[in-house]
Amino acid sequence: MFSGIGSIIASQGAYYAFSNSDGVGKFIVILLFFGSILTWTIMLDKGIALYRARNSSEAFIKLFRHRKSVVSCFREGERDPSPVARVYMSGVEKLLEFYAVTPEQTSAMNSTGDNPASHLTDAQMEALRTVLEREVADQIMELEQRIGLLATAVSVSPFFGLFGTVWGVMIAFCGVAAQGRAEISALAPGVSGALLTTVVGLVVAIPSLIGYNLLTITIRKITVYMDNFTEEFIARIKLEQLGLDEEA
């Protein structure tokens, strides 16, 4: 008898279990199915976006380190959408405000090799650091958009599956009690439908957990890039001011 029931479930698979679910069980399975589509869409979209953000940030950092002046990457920074470039532009715009230099003048100076640097007070340096750190925080918020949905899917999906299983088992036993006979052939269809919700819940949760971890690792790496770039940006300005002192 057990082998016969097992062969039925194995041959029919998920469709057999789904067809033997009640309305609540089917609703949970459908809900988890669409939840799976949503999580995969988020993972693929964010994965591609973060991959590009990481690579473009690395490229911009290399470009910045090969330039003589802090403001010499202005043109490239305007066209670069990477997080590090956004941090750079926020700092440069504030820096040009302190230098009383327009972006057009900066472009002209870069083409001639001139440096618009001038002395900054301690208060101006602190204000510049604040601008950079605020932009870093804004970029982190943008990078983390929709990541919370993945964390929610990881946490909630197994509980939806468990709820569906408990509900389905309860309904199956109620059906057995109503029939007045406790046979495996009467119990198996309902139990299979109940267990399907747990399976689907895990199918949603496991990839979401893996994707969430991979995405958060990438976000953490980009965050480190931005934090380090902020310190490097400030250090370059201080070095340029030391150069002005030596020239004087």
User: Can you state the angle between helices 23-66 and 184-247, rounded to 10 degrees?
Assistant: 20
Query: Is there a domain that residue 33 lies in?
Result: yes
In percent, the amount of the chain with pLDDT more than 70 equals: 80
Query: Is there a domain that residue 10 lies in?
Result: no
How far apart (Å, rounded) are the C-alpha atoms in residues 66 and 44? 34
Query: Is there a domain that residue 42 lies in?
Result: yes
Q: What is the mean pLDDT of residues 139-163?
A: 92
**Token duo for residue 171:** 């309904």
Q: pTM for the full model? A: 0.81
Q: Is 180 helix (H, G, I), strand (E, B) or coil?
A: coil
Query: Is there a domain that residue 109 lies in?
Result: yes
pLDDT of residue 9: 46
- Residue 87 structural domain: 24-242
Where residue 3 falls among pLDDT bands split at 50, 70, 90? very low
Query: Is there a domain that residue 108 lies in?
Result: yes
Segment holding 248, helix H or strand E:
none
The number of domains in the chain is 1
Q: What is the mean pLDDT of residues 75-86?
A: 93
Query: Is there a domain that residue 39 lies in?
Result: yes
pLDDT of residue 193: 78
Where residue 180 falls among pLDDT bands split at 50, 70, 90? low
What letter does residue 146 receive in the DSSP assignment? T
Measured in degrees and rounded to the nearest 5, phi and psi for residue 83 equal: -55, -45
Query: Is there a domain that residue 179 lies in?
Result: yes
Looking at per-residue confidence, does 82 or 13 come out higher?
82
pLDDT at 10 exceeding the cut of 50: no
Q: What is the mean pLDDT of residues 13-37?
A: 83
Report pLDDT digits (tens) over 85-112: 999 999 999 988 887 777 666 655 555 4
Q: What is the mean pLDDT of residues 206-219?
A: 95
Query: Is there a domain that residue 7 lies in?
Result: no
